Amino acid sequence: MKKVLFVGLRSLGDMVLTMPAVRSIYDSCPDSQIDYLMERPYAQLFSEEPMIRKVIPLPRPVKDHSPPKTHVQKSYFRFLQEIRSEQYDVVFDLFTRGPRSRVIVAASNARRRVGIWDHPIPMIDSWIYTDQFIIPNAMTHMFDQMQYLTSRLGFRAKQTTPMLTVHPENIIDAKSLLGSFPTQGHQEFLTVLPGSGMKNKNWPPARFARLIEVLINLGIPVLLLGGPNDREAVNEVLQMIPRDRPLFKWILQSNLSTLKGIFSLSRGVIGNDSGPLHLAQSVGKKVVALFGPGDHVSYRPFRGTLVRKRLSCSPCQSFANECPDNQCMKSIGTEEVLLALEEQGLLTP
């Protein structure tokens, strides 16, 4: 039996895209014990995956509560001791960039400590990692890159695209939010995500409002959906649409497990480049992703398509917050998006 720890300290979309790497261990070594260390907001979502034995949330100080520095240090040291006590055979550092994951990997004292040769610190990394691999340029999609890391140790996945498990409770929770909103047959709703966590990655609210009007006129129910950080984006769209409009509903939802259920009940999803779009694809739904400043190669849809303008300055992920005028998103027309939805079969009754 192998005891394996994955360390993935990234955002939701990145975490979803690591699942084929996790599955490669599970498929190749069914009696293995797989643990996953990640940021706390995603712990519940991934703890629902049967192939993961335990999700370990990364300890961080509670916001608006600052305990003494010595207390934080002692608590973190105990956390590292607990990781070491698990006696992992293999630890995979999926995003080898910052010091935090390096400290965790070193503290594990696992027999094999595997990382990516990306932003290396050679003198330190040679002590921390037993294996560091350079991802081939041909591995363009993020989930292919993650699988490459595990494949170098001989692990192969039977399902090579990200898939998450939808449980009956996810559906029940989703239906309790949706109420009588259509979820079956020709009335199955289309989900619209106007936010992304970064304002310059957002399609203009007026374009979303226009798209929603056209969809409703076609007889397609529309769910406008956002998380806590998308409140502004959702409100800007709502200002342009009557809230009592037939075939229209809006929800702000922070529970990722419930979000998984909502997506599974929809016909598909249209939205900006964001983590929830990857989540929707992982439960089998087609998406139309709107790309501007983001990396449209590593994060392109694996179930659906993308719409983007080929501007000379796009993508510009590192500089998106400083962009004075995100023409890469403003240039995308409503008709282009409708055509992409039609090509994916998302406008078909």
292 band by pLDDT with thresholds 50, 70 and 90:
confident
User: On the CB side of 246, how many CA atoms lie within 13 Å of its CA?
Assistant: 5
Write the pLDDT tens digit of every residue in 196-242. Answer: 988 888 999 999 999 999 999 999 999 999 998 899 999 999 999 98
Residue 10: Cβ within 10 Å count: 18
CA distance 321 to 339: 29
64 band by pLDDT with thresholds 50, 70 and 90:
low
Q: What percent of the chain has pLDDT over 90?
A: 73
> Contact 320/293 with Cβ under 8 angstroms?
yes
> Contact 307/287 with Cβ under 8 angstroms?
no
- According to CATH, the topology of domain 3-151 is Rossmann fold (3.40.50)
Q: Return the domain boundaries, the chain.
A: 3-151, 168-343
For the cut 70, the answer to whether the pLDDT of residue 67 exceeds it is no
Output the six-digit token pair for 94: 């999926």
For the ranges 50-54, 153-157, 181-185, 303-307, the lowest mean pLDDT is seen at: 181-185
The DSSP bridge pattern shows strands 304-307 and 287-290 to be: parallel
| Across 128-133, average pLDDT | 94
For the cut 90, the answer to whether the pLDDT of residue 137 exceeds it is no
Strand partners, 289: 271, 306
- According to CATH, the topology of domain 168-343 is Rossmann fold (3.40.50)
Q: What angle do CA 173, 174, 177 make, to 5 degrees?
A: 90
Q: What percent of the chain has pLDDT over 70?
A: 93
Q: How far apart are the first and last CA of the chain?
A: 50
The DSSP bridge pattern shows strands 112-116 and 131-133 to be: parallel
| b/e per residue 315-336 (b: at least 16 CB within 10 A) | bbbeebeebeebebbeebebee
Write the pLDDT tens digit of every residue in 5-32. Answer: 999 999 999 999 999 999 999 999 999 9
CA distance 204 to 191: 17
Task: Please spell the DSSP secondary structure of 80-106, one letter per residue.
Answer: HHHHHHT--SEEEESS--SHHHHHHHH
> pTM value?
0.93
Best mean pLDDT range from 78-87, 242-251, 313-322: 78-87
Residue 228 sits at φ, ψ, to 5 deg, of -55, -35
136 burial via Cβ count (<10 Å: 0-12, 13-18, 19+): exposed
Confidence at residue 266, expressed as pLDDT on a 0 to 100 scale:
95
Length of the chain: 349
Confidence at residue 318, expressed as pLDDT on a 0 to 100 scale:
59
Of residues 228 and 346, the one with the higher pLDDT is 346
Of residues 237 and 64, the one with the higher pLDDT is 237
Provide the H-helix boundaries in the chain. 12-17, 19-28, 43-47, 69-85, 99-108, 122-128, 142-151, 168-178, 205-217, 231-238, 256-265, 275-282, 327-330, 334-343
Confidence at residue 319, expressed as pLDDT on a 0 to 100 scale:
58
